[in-house]
Structures are given as structure tokens and as C-alpha cells.
Structure 1
Amino acid sequence: MPAAYILVGIGAGAASALLYAAAASGSPLALTLLYVAPLPILLAAVGWRHSAGLIATAVGAGLLLLSVGPKTGLYFVIAVGLPSWWLGYLALLARPGVDGRQPEWYPIGRLTLWCAALGALLVAASIPLIATSLEDYRAALRTLFEKAFETPGSADGGAILPRGQDPKALIELMTALAPGMAASFWTLASIFNLWLAGRITRASGRLARPWPDIRAMEFPRAAALGLAVAVALSFLPNLAGLVAELFAGTFLVAFTLLGLCVVHVATLRTPMRVFILFGFYTLLVLQPWIAVLLSLLGLAEQFVGLRRRFGPPPGGPPTAAANLP
């Protein structure tokens, strides 16, 4: 193994461990650092092959084990290290092309689905650390939100809410939505970190695979079946239904992104494309329920192939050196 891989792995592991440890304060900024903690390991894995990412995982876990404790080191491996290494490994996975053609790289659609699956798995793995039943788990979340909404120093310990709103109703709503939202955030964070790692390594000339045309992302047919099974199993009682709900939510996020790909292709030949997309994304931020319509659009693309009706995008994706990992 080249010495550069080892040095990069050590540096990436130390940076990732520092970001992960900073999240222990619990502030909003610290939680943001937690979501970007996988980025250094992804940079090492994508830019210097997956062996550097594996070294970064081991170094980060070792530093946290020595400085904070064995549990923190173990949680780092499960939540940050191994998922980042695995995504970096898949991103550079390739097989020789047929009849001497260009290598076939691991599809970005499958990478997106892996991000969705990992987002659900990470939240599901945290459930036994909190409770062993659905009632106890929701009670723990409810207590957490009640403390978060308490006004420090107030006489009645009331919640910080606009006048006329029932704090109990809001706490119950957040208790029900929190697991799915956490899994969805992890999914989006994984996708963003993987994309950012690819962009940085491409700019530095270290990206081994050609840059993919994200608008042409496709999912295997089994993805829609997996979503349907997850939705059906979400009606199961107790924690089994909650875990299935996590997978249903993260796979809906993946299909929402596929729906966005359809929108990008559909507006390719529109003169006002930039303004249309800007308005669309602004509306998506202001009205998040539009994501449901986008996921339905993604499902329609899966079975009907809506993008084919708008013709292929002009030109091809930018290329980079394509060296087999």
C-alpha cells in the first residue's frame, strides 16, 4: 500500500473524529458537524481508494476510543466510518466493459438507494440504545421534546410556542415524525457528502471514474417493490412497523430525487429553464409537501419512462480518467 494512502487515511480519520466529537455538545451547529463527519472519510475513499477510507475509519475510531471512550469509538465506526467506507468502495467499483469498451461503473442510482438504506439502518440501530418497545421509545422522545420546549426560568415551565398553539399536540407530532425525519436527513446528508467528495476529488484530478450524468439516474425495478413492501410492513405493530416506516421514508426520499431528475430533463429545452428551476426549488423549500408529488413522479418514471419522451440530454457528461480501482 502506498505511503500516501496511509497518510491521507490518518489525516481523514483525525478530521472525521474531531467533527464527530464536536457534536457531543448537542447544539444545532454541532449537530450540523455530525452530518458532515463522514466527508473526510469519503474524500479519502474516493480520492485514494477504499483502503485509505478503511484506514481513516480505524484511526478515527481509535482516537475517539482513547480520548472519549470505547462506546463513542464503536458508535463512530457504525454511524460514520463503515457507511462512508462502503459508499466510497461502491463509488469506485467497476467491471471491464464488453469487447474492450469502457469500464462499467457502479450506477449512481444504486448508490442513491444504498444511501437510503443506510439512513434507515442507522436510525434503526439506535432504537435499542433508547428503548426495547415502541411505547418506551416514544416516551423517551416525548420527554426529550418536552425538555427542549421548556422555557428556562419560567414560572410554569411552559413551552416556547406562539400564542394559541397547544404544546402537547406539537410534541406528539414531533414524537411521531422524529425517527423518519432523522432517517431522511441521514439519507440526504450521505448523498450530499458523496456528491461533494466526488466534486472535490474531480477538481483535484483524483477522481478515477467519469463524472456521471445525474439527470440520467435510474433505479432497478426492485426499488419500487422494496418501497411497496416497506409501506405494507409499516402497518405492523411495535418496533417492526417503526423500522419498516424508516425504510419507507428513506426510499421515498430516493424517489423524490428521481422525480427531480425528471424535472431537470423535462426543462432542458425550455428557454426559461434557470428561472423555472429556481422557482421550483424555492417552492419546494417553502412547501415541503411537494416532495410527495415528486416521489410519485419518480415512481411514474420507474414504470413509464417519462424522460424518454423529452429526448436525450444534449451532449454527454464530462469525462475523467477511468482507472479501475
Structure 2
Amino acid sequence: MMIQILIAIAAGCASALMFASIISGALISLLLFYLAPLPLMVAALGWGAAGAAAGGLLGAAGLAAIFSFSYAIAFLVTVVAPAYWLGRLAMLARPVETADSATPAALEWYPVGRIVAWMAGFATLTTMAAMLTLGTDGATISEGLRSGLQRALGSRNSADTDKLIDALVAVAPPAAASVAMLTLTLNLWLAARITITSGRLTRPRPDLRTVALPAMTLAVLSLAIGLSFTGGLVALIGKTASAAMLVAYGLTGAATLHTLTMSARHRGFLLSSTYALVLIFLWPALGLIALGIGDAAFGFRQRYYQRRSMPPPTAT
């Protein structure tokens, strides 16, 4: 019990310090800021989500005492809540009944695809929470973003600068949601790797080729895209949610690509080239997103296994 308490305190303090490092303005602080959920996620996966929540609350209390109450609230919303809930879901399991009562019941673990969907929800929530600090309607938020970008780009006023600022204002919320989605995914993956290395992870390693979003996600994405064409705050929410869910479908597209290339002769080269192109040029990620949406609509992976008379891998 004492070890769990110490781990929770250390994780909460580390996350709070990493979150507060952004105040320094140093470049390395941006990396620490994005990795702030990592210590709490490690604590949640290895020592229990309750301890991670307690450590997060302790870190928030420290931020409130040293800086301000608003910093503590931002830390709770953007770091503690995702770390606690995602860590809790990752370790959630239920027994599966078997026909033979003498056989010990196996465990069915919470699907990774649903965890990815929760990540998209948290990415939307945290991004919109940041946007709402600038105002409560679309025009005020856009004006706040424009003012901040004008200060960042300098006081030069020209037609080209105004066009650039307008473009950045339009893409800033979806881009922020995409970055939040990717950093949550990276943090949870790193936390799982660290916990596996320490021998504390009791959940078996899932086969990431089986990652699939819930069926309703495609309908929610369609609704969010439709809302993005309305205007005002509703359109901003639609764009932000659409961006987060498109990144989620990009992740399932990567899982689909790993499945469809199982029989390829140069599979390693094909996969590494694809990811290199995505990292360098970014736009090839649209292909992964399209592949993920296509798999959700037409079942590419299921058809692949049926065509080769292969049983699909189990999800857990």
C-alpha cells in the first residue's frame, strides 16, 4: 500500500511539473507539456487508476497553490481526466463464461478500438475547453485566435499576412484536436511499453491489427462533418470533433494496412515507406484515413480473412 501511495504522489508531482513547464517558454517545455499525462498513465496501468487519480488531484492542488486555480482546472481537464479514464478502461476486464464449469473463466478485456474512440472524445473536449477560454461564441474565439497570431507573427500588416492569419485561424482548432489525439495515443502506448518493461502490466498485449472503432463512430463522424458547415460555435465543435475522429480512422487505417499486407513479399519496406511518407509530407495520411473509413464501411479486413480462409485474430 505504501508503494502505491508513493507511486501516486510521484506520478502526480511529475505530471504537474511537466504541465507547468510550458510557462518557461523553452522549446523542450513543449515536449514535456505534451508528455504530461505519461506518468499518471504509467501509474494507472501498473498500480491502479484510483492511485493515478489521487496523484493527479495532489498535483492539481500544488498547481493551484503555486500558480492559480485556473492552472489547476486546466491540468485536471487536459491531463488528469484522460490519464485516469483511459488507464482505467485499458485495465477493465470481465470474465467470459465457458461451457465447462471446471475450466477457469477467461477474461475479456476492454476493446482497444473503444479506447481509441474515447481518445477522440477527450481530444475534442480538451481542444474545445481551450477554445472556450477565448470566448463563448465562434466570432469571439476566432478574434482571440487572430489576435494571438498577429502578436506571434509581428505587427506587419499586409494582404498576404492577413490571408495567412485567416487560414491559420480556420485550421487551428482542427489541428489542435489532431495533435491532442496523437499525443494521447503516444502517451498511452509509451505508458504500456514502460509498464510491460517493469513487469507490472497484467493485461496481455493486444493484437493491434484488430483495432476497430465502434460502428456508431461513422455516423457520429458524418454528423460532425455536417455540423462543420453550419457556422458559429456549432461549426467549430463539428470541425474539432471531425478532426479527432479522422485521426482515429487513420489509426484503424494503419491497422487495416498491417492486415492487408500480411502476405506481401516486401511487407517491411512497404510499411516503413508508408509511415515515412506520412511523417515527412503529412498528406499521405489521407490514404490511411480513407482506408480506415473504407474498412469500417465495407469490412476490408474481414473480406481478407474470408478470401484466404483464415480465422481473424482475436481482439484480446
TM-score normalised by the chain length of structure 2: 0.91
- Deviates most, 185-194 or 279-288: 279-288
Is 1:128 the counterpart of 2:132? The answer is yes
Distance in 2 (CA, whole Å) between partners of 1:83 and 1:259 is 23
In the other structure, the counterpart of 2:71 is 72
1:288 CA drift (Å): 1.9
Summarize the Cα distance change of 1:309–1:7 in structure 2 as closer, same or farther, 3 Å threshold. Answer: same
| AA partner of residue 246 (structure 1) | T
In the other structure, the counterpart of 2:294 is 300
Is 1:138 the counterpart of 2:142? The answer is yes
Q: Which runs of 5+ in 2 are unaligned?
A: 99-103
Deviations 1:146-186 (A, max 9, x none): 12122xxxxxx449xxxx99222221111110111111111
Deviations 1:49-75 (A, max 9, x none): 111111111111111111112221121
| AA partner of residue 42 (structure 2) | L
| AA partner of residue 62 (structure 2) | L
Is the contact between residue 278 and residue 284 of structure 2 (CA under 8 Å) also seen in structure 1?
yes
Summarize the Cα distance change of 1:141–1:300 in structure 2 as closer, same or farther, 3 Å threshold. Answer: same
Identity of aligned residues (%): 36
Deviations 1:109-138 (A, max 9, x none): 000010011000111122221112211211
Aligned ranges 1:10-21 → 2 under 5 Å: 10-21=9-20
Structure 1 counterpart SS, 2:282: coil
Is the contact between residue 5 and residue 51 of structure 1 (CA under 8 Å) also seen in structure 2?
no
1:30 CA drift (Å): 1.7
Is 1:168 the counterpart of 2:162? The answer is yes
In the other structure, the counterpart of 1:115 is 119
Deviations 1:229-274 (A, max 9, x none): 1111222221111012111110011001111111111222222111
Structure 2 counterpart SS, 1:84: helix
Aligned ranges 1:145-160 → 2 under 5 Å: 145-150=149-154, 157-158=155-156
Distance in 1 (CA, whole Å) between partners of 2:89 and 2:236 is 28
Distance in 1 (CA, whole Å) between partners of 2:30 and 2:313 is 38
Distance in 2 (CA, whole Å) between partners of 1:28 and 1:227 is 34
CA RMSD of aligned residues (A): 2.1
TM-score normalised by the chain length of structure 1: 0.89
Distance in 1 (CA, whole Å) between partners of 2:219 and 2:141 is 29
Is the contact between residue 255 and residue 298 of structure 1 (CA under 8 Å) also seen in structure 2?
yes
Summarize the Cα distance change of 1:21–1:118 in structure 2 as closer, same or farther, 3 Å threshold. Answer: same
In the other structure, the counterpart of 1:153 is none
Distance in 1 (CA, whole Å) between partners of 2:116 and 2:288 is 16
Is the contact between residue 19 and residue 75 of structure 2 (CA under 8 Å) also seen in structure 1?
yes
Is 1:282 the counterpart of 2:288? The answer is no
Structure 1 counterpart SS, 2:133: helix
Aligned ranges 1:232-311 → 2 under 5 Å: 232-311=226-305
1:291 CA drift (Å): 2.1
- Deviates most, 274-283 or 289-298: 289-298
Q: Which runs of 5+ in 1 are unaligned?
A: 151-156, 320-325
| AA partner of residue 166 (structure 1) | D
Distance in 2 (CA, whole Å) between partners of 1:31 and 1:204 is 27
Distance in 2 (CA, whole Å) between partners of 1:28 and 1:239 is 32
In the other structure, the counterpart of 2:180 is 186
1:315 CA drift (Å): 11
| Paired residue total | 307
